[in-house]
Chains A and B, each alone.
Chain A
Amino acid sequence: MEKRLVYADNAATTRISETVFDAMLPYLKDQFGNPSSIHTLGRSARKAVEEARCKLASAIGCEPAEIYFTCSGTESSSWALQGFVSAASRPEHSVHIITSSIEHHSILNTCEALRKKGCHITYIQPDALGRVPFEDVKSAVEEILLTENTGPERILVTIMTANNEIGTLQPVEEVARWCRQKGILFHTDGVSAFGQVPMHPADSGISMISLSGHKIHGPKGVGALYISRNCKIDSLLYGGAQERDKRAGTENTAGIVAFGEAAAIAVSNIAEKNTYIAELRDRLAENLLAIPGSRINGILREGLKNKPENSRCLPGMLNITFEGVENESLILALDREGICVSGGSACASGAIEPSHVLKSIGLSHEDAGSSIRISLNEENTEEDIAYIFKHITQIINRLRAPSPF
């Protein structure tokens, strides 16, 4: 097999699609107007932004007025939490956030910052397969309602739709419905799930969803926050009246146009795409499991093909531990063969830190440091899978052999 580039890190980011790229180009060049300007160039940019808003709204079945563009998924999540706390805080009452320990850092670190400001944070632990139990969320909230004399309006529940490292889907609709009954706001980080899991926030009563462009073949630097009409949060950024006075800052017109385009494509054939991707992923998983000391992390451990569990995980996600194999070595050696995968989350220096998600679901520090994440999408092929399998096998054999030094 000849050396090739195999991109299997689609949970980190995706290749921008040609269609999306073409759609955004005019707004980087001739159509450079500021959407807030009333002249022709400005109006043309405004039209593009609003059309993109409509596309994104229809992708998740909400009203355009419920979509607020931001510059990233992180900004969206951070805004949702901080905006809620700011709106709900009263000097005499504290605010509670219930979340899980396997959220993205945009949630976890925002929660930590809010905790330092006096907010109460409850972290729900997932089970060994990475599921955040609905019952645990429920009882945590009920306990707060009972014992702390806190009104539901001062509680926010935030649970991600799908985990970005192991792919496990969370019972967000169930939690959202229950929260709606109780009059509690529910936010979900939908960044990893968007385009792979159909979203209907209005049906289940999800109050807010964070979304990002670059995970669905859009460009980096654009995200959105869905905020249900019934949900009122404060702004994060103050300034101009953009985004209906909720998110100041001149619109990233090209990015927003691209995001709208990418969203429309992403939700157009979810079922078909998912079947194809899951088949590839399952085949790769079966092959890799033949390597001694290998173990799948997350819900897929329960079984691959034709199992109902299959739909409890993102289709392209495969997180796997190879006992005694340092993931950083494996990833750098795979890179030499043109294969892009990842492990854990990058720390500030750019080195890999063992994943907090894997540690949360019970992996030891060492096993978490011996795990890699392969994330496939519809652009991957049979050849890619064979190539990945061949090289992982070879490299692991080398890594497990006694060191030549």
Chain B
Amino acid sequence: MKERVLTAMSGGVDSAAAAALLLEQGLQVDGATIKLLPDEDERDLSASGGKTCCSLSDVMDARNVSYQLGIDHFVFNFTGAFHEKVICRFAKCYEEGQTPNPCIDCNRFVKIPLFLKRAALMGYDKIATGHYAISEYDEGSGRYLLKKGVDENKDQSYVLYAMSQKELAHTLFPLGRLTKPQVREKAKSLGLTCAEKPESQDICFVPDGNYASFLTEKMNVSCCPGNIVDEEGNVLGSHKGLIHYTQGQRKGLGISGGSPKFVTAKDTATNTLVVGSRETAICKGLIASDINLISVPDLKEPMVVTVKTRYKQKEQQAVIKPCSDSSVSVCFTSPASPAAPGQSVVFYTGDTVLGGGIIKQVF
């Protein structure tokens, strides 16, 4: 019997091409769009001129492209889980002085696991997404691997590092071996209506990019001005509220004169923003927790790997070492660009994702 695959369709060109490729492989494919924001929020967003990633018009696009491909289409309401697992975590993370990555949380808690669970319930064998990444089974280790997509500019393995073995075993990434131009070409050759659709941008629930006003107005996160101090505690100026700043940030601090200053810490207890010189901001290492390992079952010995502490970042070499409390310490072999607590660190060996975790502390 043909394998039944449910493709997560966002209404964009990537997921549409993913579904099309699976159909060409002879699989039995259907599509589903996940609805992440309640109607009333979407109305607010579109009234403010914003553009979300799973908006009403995206659902219509996904539905139309599904009909074009001749596949069935569903809409799943995951607004409750998205609110709890992504939006609330986003706000909480900022309240604690960290810098969250909601796209990773969305993949980790909503997009992959809930979609998979729903698909299984509906009798599908696997799910597929339009992520640029490669998943494959490795006979040698007996593990499912997650690898970088071949398009360097589009590789999304970073946002998928939290996938479990069971999730990887049941998830297809049909675009992993293609480049974005090839995907657009494919969509165009099939006459898919979304072939020219622009990339989605920003955080989907804060489409105007003004996350600070989202946090204060919608999520009641407090945001009070306070002092900017140097590492000796000398007051250098005032800040607009800690949520406006990210560790490692240089621009927009409003401190004139002297050498360039970088954010080195956000002290939520005293509502102070600590800044330092380039040297103090440079990241020598970090501690990550919430570790998920993919290519290896566990981490016993120190390992030399390359790491990313942000999605769009060149990898940097580091030695990772298990700590006693199941967290992992990361020591960069040469000074690295600043990293912010709350963001994810992902470890690579070559093109393969070894695993990753959430940055707790930077030094």
The answer on A and B forming one complex is yes
User: If A328-B76, A348-B56 touch, does A404 touch B120 (CB 8 Å cutoff)?
Assistant: yes
* Contact status of A329 and B118, CB under 8 A, knowing A405-B166, A405-B170: yes
Return the contact of A365 from the options B80, B120, B123, B167 (Cβ within 8 A): B80
Residues of B within 8 A of A (CB): 33, 35, 38-39, 56, 59, 63, 74-77, 79-80, 113, 116-118, 120-123, 164, 166-167, 170
Contact A332 B74 (CB under 8 A): yes
A405 adjacent to B117 (CB under 8 Å): yes
Which residues on the B side are within 8 Å of A405 (C-beta)?
Answer: 113, 116-117, 120, 164, 166-167, 170
Other CB < 8 Å A-B pairs besides A353-B38, A353-B39, 14 of them? A328-B76, A328-B77, A347-B35, A347-B77, A348-B39, A349-B59, A350-B75, A351-B79, A352-B77, A403-B117, A404-B120, A404-B166, A405-B116, A405-B167
Q: How many A-B residue pairs have CB under 8 A?
A: 54
Question: Which chain B residues lie closer than 8 Å to A403 at the CB level?
Answer: 113, 117
> Which residues of B sit under 8 angstroms from A347, Cβ to Cβ?
35, 38-39, 77
Query: Chain B's nearest CB lies how many Å from the CB of A32?
Result: 31
Contact status A329-B77, CB under 8 Å: no
Interface residues of A in 87-102 (CB under 8 A from B): none
Distance in Å: Cβ of B96 to nearest Cβ of chain A: 26
Q: Are B113 and A399 in contact (CB under 8 A)?
A: no
Q: Contact flags (1/0) for A330-374 with B, using CB distance below 8 Å? A: 001100100000000001111111000000000001100100000
> In the complex, are the beta carbons of B35 and A349 less than 8 A apart?
yes
Query: A398 on the interface (CB 8 Å rule)?
Result: yes
17 examples of A-B residue contacts, CB within 8 angstroms? A328-B76, A328-B77, A332-B118, A332-B121, A333-B122, A347-B38, A347-B77, A348-B56, A349-B35, A349-B39, A349-B59, A351-B35, A351-B75, A366-B80, A369-B80, A398-B121, A405-B113
Q: Which of A332, A348, A353, A405 has the most CB of B within 10 A?
A: A405
Q: Are B122 and A332 in contact, CB atoms less than 8 angstroms apart?
A: yes
| B121→A329 contact, CB < 8 A | yes
Q: A347, A352, A369 — which one has the most chain B CB atoms within 10 A of its CB? A: A347
Q: How far is the CA of A398 from the CA of B170 in the complex (A)?
A: 19
Chain A residues within CB distance 8 Å of chain B: 328-329, 332-333, 336, 347-353, 365-366, 369, 395, 398-399, 403-405
Which A residues lie within 8 Å of B117 (CB)? 403, 405
CB distance from B167 to the nearest CB of A (A): 6
Which residue of chain B has the shortest Cβ distance to A366 in the bound complex?
Answer: B80
Known: A328-B76, A365-B80, A369-B80. A350 touches B59 (CB 8 A): yes
Sorted nearest first, the 7 A-B pairs with minimum C-beta distance are A351-B77, A351-B75, A349-B59, A350-B75, A351-B35, A347-B39, A349-B35
Chain A residues with CB below 8 A from B75, complex form: 349-351
What is the minimal beta-carbon distance from B284 to any residue of chain A, in angstroms? 38
Contacting residue for B33 out of A349, A365, A366, CB 8 A: A349
Distance (whole angstroms) from the CB of A50 to the closest CB of chain B = 41
Assembly CA distance A403 to B164 (angstroms): 13
Given contacts A349-B33, A349-B56, A351-B75, contact A336 B39 (CB under 8 A): no
> B121 and A399: CB pair below 8 A?
yes
A245 to B35, CA, bound (A): 44
